Amino acid sequence: MIQMIYPVLNLKMRFPAVEMFGFRIIRRVISAIALLLIVVPIFALGRTWYAAHNPTISSADVIVILGAAQFDGRPSEALQARLVEAQRIFKAGLAPLIITVGAGAPGDRTTEAAASKEWLAEKGISSSSIVAIEKGRDTLVSTRSYILEMRRRGASSVIIVTDPYHCLRAITMARDLGARSTCSPVRSGPNSLKRADLHYLVRETGAYLAYVLLGRRGILVSDHPGKS
């Protein structure tokens, strides 16, 4: 009888230790997950900020102007800032061709790409040096569209003209699709570093994480209507 009681007592004595060990494992797992949920967004925010403040620009085959709003053919202030920057680097001889990208909103008589091309032509850039791709109302679709045009032309490198905090996401998408890419961020307009607020940085960080975690796996998370 005594021999039968000892194993039972031993099991009862071991249970608290086993339960404590299990709780420690669960606590460590939860702590690790919580740490990742904090560290990963902070790391992504830091990368987004750094890319905006430390752009690297080199000569390329094409300059791409990502679309932004236009009003019946008149570029919005945000789009015009991109056009001004593209005009500057084109005249500096950094690329021989400009690609404008962007579709129109429902009911529009024109598109972001067409409005951009017309503005550039009015500023003296030859129409033969501008290609308008009237597709894309979000960054990923726009990127896929201009990458296809680049491949058709045998181009492999691109300077992307967009807002500073949009640079990291735009560059990452282009590189994922096989293009050597750099970014020339706008120096004026509502989304320039002088005028962009923390909300834009946080939004772009979230959009970048959504692309890296989901978009690369084929789950499209569009940045429209909060379109860049």
At 53-112, the pLDDT tens digits run 999 899 999 999 999 999 999 999 999 999 999 999 999 999 999 999 999 988 889 999
The CATH number that domain 53-217 falls under is 3.40.50.620
Q: Are 110 and 146 in contact (CB under 8 A)?
A: no
CA nearest 42: which of 217, 209, 163, 216? Answer: 209
Per-residue pLDDT of the chain (228 residues; tens, 9 = 90+): 444 444 544 544 555 655 565 666 776 667 666 655 687 889 999 999 999 999 989 999 999 999 999 999 999 999 999 999 999 999 999 999 999 999 998 888 999 999 999 999 999 999 999 999 999 989 999 999 999 999 999 999 999 999 999 999 999 999 999 999 999 999 999 999 999 999 999 999 999 999 999 988 888 767 764 444
Model confidence, pTM: 0.84
Q: For position 5, what pLDDT does the model report?
A: 45
The DSSP-derived string for 171-219 is: HHHHHHTT-EEEEEE-SSSTTSTTT--HHHHHHHHHHHHHHHHTGGGT-
pLDDT for the residue 16:
60
Q: pLDDT value at position 225? A: 46
Amino acid at 76: S
- Can you give the pLDDT at residue 34? 61
What is the pLDDT at residue 39? 79
Full DSSP string of the chain: -HHHHHHHHHHHHHHHHHHHHHHHHHHHHHHHHHHHHHHHHHHHHHHHHHHHHS------SEEEE----EETTEEPHHHHHHHHHHHHHHHTTS-S-EEEE----TT-SS-HHHHHHHHHHHTT--GGGEEEE---SSHHHHHHHHHHHHHHHT--EEEEEE-GGGHHHHHHHHHHTT-EEEEEE-SSSTTSTTT--HHHHHHHHHHHHHHHHTGGGT------SS--
Q: Which of 136, 116, 132 is nearest to 75 (CA)?
A: 116
Neighbours of 175 (CB within 10 A): 12
- Predicted local distance difference test score (pLDDT) of residue 138: 92
- 139 within 8 A of 170, measured Cβ to Cβ: yes
